[in-house]
Amino acid sequence: MAKNITGRPGLYVHIPYCDTKCAYCDFYSITRQDSRAAFIPALIREIHSYGREPYTRNTFDTIYFGGGTPSLLSVEELSRILEALRQTFPLAEDSEITLEANPGTIRPEKLKAFKELGVNRLSMGIQSFDDADLKALGRLHTARQALQSFAEARRAGFDNISLDLIFALPGQTLKRWRDNLKTLLELAPEHVSAYNLIYEPGTLFHRWREEGKLKAAPGTLEEKLYVTTMETLENAGYIMYEVSNYARGERYYSRHNSKYWDHTPYLGFGPSAHSYWPEERWSNIRSARGYNQKAHAGEPTVSFQEQLGTETRMFETVMLGLRTRRGVDLKRFAKHFKNDFGAIFRPQTEKLIREGFARIEDNHFRLTAKGLMICDEIIPHFHHD
């Protein structure tokens, strides 16, 4: 029998198309558009295939269009997808509907039309306000276009905008990053995601680094950039509520992404999209063509599926919780796993508390600012072999 779930689930839609492939990107994204005509009906078929128990028993309260570049969708395409979602799933009145948008791909009329369709949050892939950085990243837009797109989004009435920035780029100095943060604060977005550059295997950046064609920022600089980001944004009134995410107040926390961090279920549609529904996780084929064929044939588009055992779920709860400012909710942990967090992880927690990397507060085990900075090193210690 399907389990009852806690919290309202979310919906994710992956739009894989991009105008160009950025040199650092390891998302499933493609520039060829020839599969696109078949894609929208395939996506709608997949969405409808979930119109059954246990999914439809719940009220969903987020929709997130990620990619790829969802802002390349036409108004008509977005409208058809939203209609399919609304027909299939009960949606809360106040649902958060986010769309990732790249500067240069959104014109004022389109922004207004997206807003009228119900999109109430934009996540803009700015990455940097420095043209040299943007060129190095392989982005198509310029700093000027980024500023212009932001202004246009405001004019279209978007009052919940998130900006993405990337730091520790090759050749980036502390001063250049500070200038980036200064521009960011002048715009005063409601939400900021600031990621440090990762050289993911399979990306051009990874290859260039291996071939010595570019030099990664030294670890000490990376740390300085991270601390500068945290201090600058916190001083400006932002709350760092996850290792890379900041919001101007709790109501601007990304409701959708928070589901990933606290194990609230979500369904993902489109090629490469992931889903989680207790106690199972699955993901779709990472090919638009393959996805279209399967969906049109009425076959499952899933290429990976796993049941999550207690140990895995426990580790993931800790891993995801430790990445957030709030930390691991000890009461919820005890209720969920019928087990005491402190007793299971005593050696790890005592050491971290002693060394100033973590503390227990308000029934939560959380990392301090010092701990959050090295959370990728800390987390594996909670893994049970």
Binding site for ligand SF4 (CB under 6 A): 18, 21-22, 25, 27, 29, 67-69, 102, 125
Select from 231, 263, 259 the least CA-distant residue to 246.
Answer: 231
Q: Which is nearer to ligand SF4, 23 or 75 (CB)?
A: 23
Taking the complex as a whole, how short is the minimal distance between the CB of residue 352 and ligand SF4, in angstroms? 34
* Closest distance of CB 296 from ligand SF4, Å: 25
| Minimum distance of ligand SF4 from residue 291's CB (angstroms) | 16
Q: 102 vs 264, which CB is nearer to ligand SF4?
A: 102
Cβ proximity of 72 and 18 under 8 Å? yes
Rounded to the nearest whole angstrom, what is the least distance from the CB of residue 324 to ligand SF4 in the complex? 24
Instruction: Decide whether 68 or 271 has the Cβ nearer to ligand SF4.
Output: 68
Minimum CB separation of residue 25 from ligand SF4 in Å reads 3
Q: Please, what is the minimum distance in Å from the beta carbon of residue 109 to ligand SF4?
A: 22
Nearer to ligand SF4, 21 or 326 (CB): 21
Q: How far is the CB of 68 from ligand SF4 (least distance, A)?
A: 5
13 or 319, CB closer to ligand SF4?
13
Pick between residue 22 and residue 240 the one whose CB is nearest to ligand SF4.
Answer: 22
Per-residue H/E/C for the chain: CCCCCCCCCEEEEEECECCCCCCCCCCCCECCCCCHHHHHHHHHHHHHHCCCCCHHHCCEEEEEEEECCHHHCCHHHHHHHHHHHHHHCCEEEEEEEEEEECCCCCCHHHHHHHHHHCCCEEEEEEECCCHHHHHHHCCCCCHHHHHHHHHHHHHCCCCCEEEEEEECCCCCCHHHHHHHHHHHHHHCCCEEEEEECCCCCCCHHHHHHHCCCCCCCCHHHHHHHHHHHHHHHHHCCCEEEECCEEECCHHHCCHHHHHHHCCCCEEEECCCCEEEECCEEEEECCCHHHHHHHHHCCCCCEEEEEECCHHHHHHHHHHHHHCECCCEEHHHHHHHHCCCHHHHCHHHHHHHHHCCCEEEECCEEEECHHHHHCHHHHHHHHCCC
Nearest to 26 by CA among 284, 195, 217, 199: 199
- In this complex, which beta carbon is closest to ligand SF4, that of residue 73 or of residue 314? 73
Shortest Å, Cβ 27 to ligand SF4: 5
Least CB distance to ligand SF4 at residue 209 (A): 17
φ and ψ of 281, to 5 deg = -135, 145
